[in-house]
């Protein structure tokens, strides 16, 4: 029998302003942990989920970590690895360490951690890039479509662009060393399905698309140039942000507070309600985080947590079991 393994997969900020469904970055924390161990049963089961307040299914076929893990297990078996009776089954423990429906890529983190944990359990025969489609199988179970703008940065680390899905074309972009990311999570929920439903059937005027195209291009160029001022100017979303602003109480006040406190740019993290800001140093990031939290409280009566740090370069990783 192989030894049990434990994998940490970080939260991620997708969209990043102009890049709806195509841009995302990983943060240092929060994140989810999945433990995997071999079992005598033939299939994959979830022994335990903690930190979800009882909201997630323990049925592995209906849980994103379970779906992603089962997808990896099937792939390993197809390669002649992890074949019964030598390694008959896998048991998972899922430790949710971030809020659900928060805009922080919670389902992606669980999917990635589940997929990677099974791969690590059997000696990591698959590369991270090979694991990505399996993590997306988990995302598909959660959202109906396997969007990669959370799962890819969560798994690979860094700042990631999804060029397209047919075939899946994922680019890792340079990360400016001084860049700091502030993510503020107010105590409110926005269901991704509701945030996406707003966009279904909506027709965007060409001018809005052009604005986002210009900013998306500038965002990518700014990363290669290590130009934080340009990066901040490029965090501008004329398409989706206006539609989703009403879902987040106090959003405009929070954005204004971030700007006044010195943020380079600020927008909605994923489908919200978390809001992210970019800053050029730790001190400014702290100031921005404080201003954003105060604005959530003053404008909408919402408590919040703030997470501050550099972009997470490593992405998902195996951690010591007693971490």
Residues contributing to the site for a second copy (CB under 8 A): 18-23, 161-164, 169, 171, 173, 199-206, 209-221, 224, 230, 233-234, 236, 239-240
Measure the CA–CA gap between 46 and 53, rounded to whole angstroms. 16
Measure the CA–CA gap between 223 and 176, rounded to whole angstroms. 6
Q: Which two tokens stand for residue 33?
A: 């942990």
Name the residue nearer to a second copy (CB basis): 129 or 163: 163
Active site (annotated) includes residue 191: no
Q: How far is the CB of 164 from a second copy (least distance, A)?
A: 5
Name the residue nearer to a second copy (CB basis): 41 or 174: 174
Is residue 315 a contact partner of residue 150, using CB atoms and an 8 Å limit? no
Q: CA end-to-end span of the chain, whole Å?
A: 22
Measure the CA–CA gap between 308 and 319, rounded to whole angstroms. 21
Name the residue nearer to a second copy (CB basis): 147 or 180: 147
Q: How many CB atoms lie within 10 A of CB 42?
A: 10
The DSSP code sequence of 78-104 is HTT-S-TTTS-EEEEEEE--S-TTSSS
Among 35, 192, 284, 287, which one carries the catalytic annotation? 192
Name the residue nearer to a second copy (CB basis): 78 or 209: 209
Measure the CA–CA gap between 58 and 319, rounded to whole angstroms. 23
Name the residue nearer to a second copy (CB basis): 55 or 204: 204
> Hunting for tokens 């105060």 — which residue is that?
294
Residues with Cβ within 8 Å of 145's Cβ and at least 6 positions away in sequence, in order, are 139
Active site (annotated) includes residue 284: no
Residues with Cβ within 8 Å of 112's Cβ and at least 6 positions away in sequence, in order, are 9, 68, 131, 135, 138, 151, 154, 155, 316
Measure the CA–CA gap between 11 and 7, rounded to whole angstroms. 13
Q: How far is the CB of 231 from a second copy (least distance, A)?
A: 11
Measure the CA–CA gap between 187 and 168, rounded to whole angstroms. 34
Among 35, 37, 120, 139, which one carries the catalytic annotation? 139
Q: How far is the CB of 223 from a second copy (least distance, A)?
A: 9
Q: Which two tokens stand for residue 323?
A: 């971490």
Measure the CA–CA gap between 132 and 44, rounded to whole angstroms. 19
Name the residue nearer to a second copy (CB basis): 21 or 253: 21
Which residues are known catalytic residues? 139, 192
């Amino acid at each position: 029998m192989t030894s049990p393994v434990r994998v940490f997969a970080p939260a991620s900020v997708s969209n990043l302003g102009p890049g709806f469904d195509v841009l995302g970055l990983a943060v240092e924390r929060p994140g989810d942990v999945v433990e995997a161990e071999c079992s005598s049963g033939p299939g994959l089961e979830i022994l335990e989920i903690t930190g979800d307040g009882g909201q997630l299914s323990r049925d592995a076929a209906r849980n994103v970590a379970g779906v992603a893990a089962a997808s990896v297990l099937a792939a390993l078996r197809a390669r002649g690895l992890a074949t019964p009776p030598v390694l008959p089954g896998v048991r998972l423990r899922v430790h949710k360490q971030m809020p659900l429906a928060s805009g922080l890529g919670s389902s992606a983190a669980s999917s990635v951690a589940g997929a990677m944990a099974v791969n690590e359990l059997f000696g990591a025969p698959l590369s991270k890039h090979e694991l990505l489609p399996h993590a997306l199988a988990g995302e598909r179970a959660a959202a109906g479509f396997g969007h990669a703008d959370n799962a890819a940065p969560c798994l690979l680390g860094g700042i990631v662009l999804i060029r397209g899905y047919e075939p899946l074309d994922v680019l890792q972009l340079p990360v400016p060393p001084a860049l700091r990311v502030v993510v503020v999570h107010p105590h409110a929920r926005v269901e991704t399905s509701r945030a996406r439903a707003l966009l279904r059937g909506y027709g965007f005027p060409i001018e809005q698309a052009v604005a986002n195209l210009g900013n998306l291009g500038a965002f990518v160029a700014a990363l290669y140039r290590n130009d934080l001022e340009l990066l901040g100017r490029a965090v501008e979303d004329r398409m989706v942000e206006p539609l989703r602003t009403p879902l987040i109480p106090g959003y405009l006040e929070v954005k204004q507070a971030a700007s006044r406190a010195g943020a380079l740019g600020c927008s909605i993290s994923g489908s919200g309600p978390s809001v992210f800001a970019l800053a050029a140093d730790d001190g400014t990031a702290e100031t921005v985080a404080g201003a954003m939290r105060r604005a959530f409280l003053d404008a909408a009566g919402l408590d919040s947590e703030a997470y501050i740090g550099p972009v997470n370069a490593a992405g998902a990783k195996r951690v010591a079991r007693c971490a």
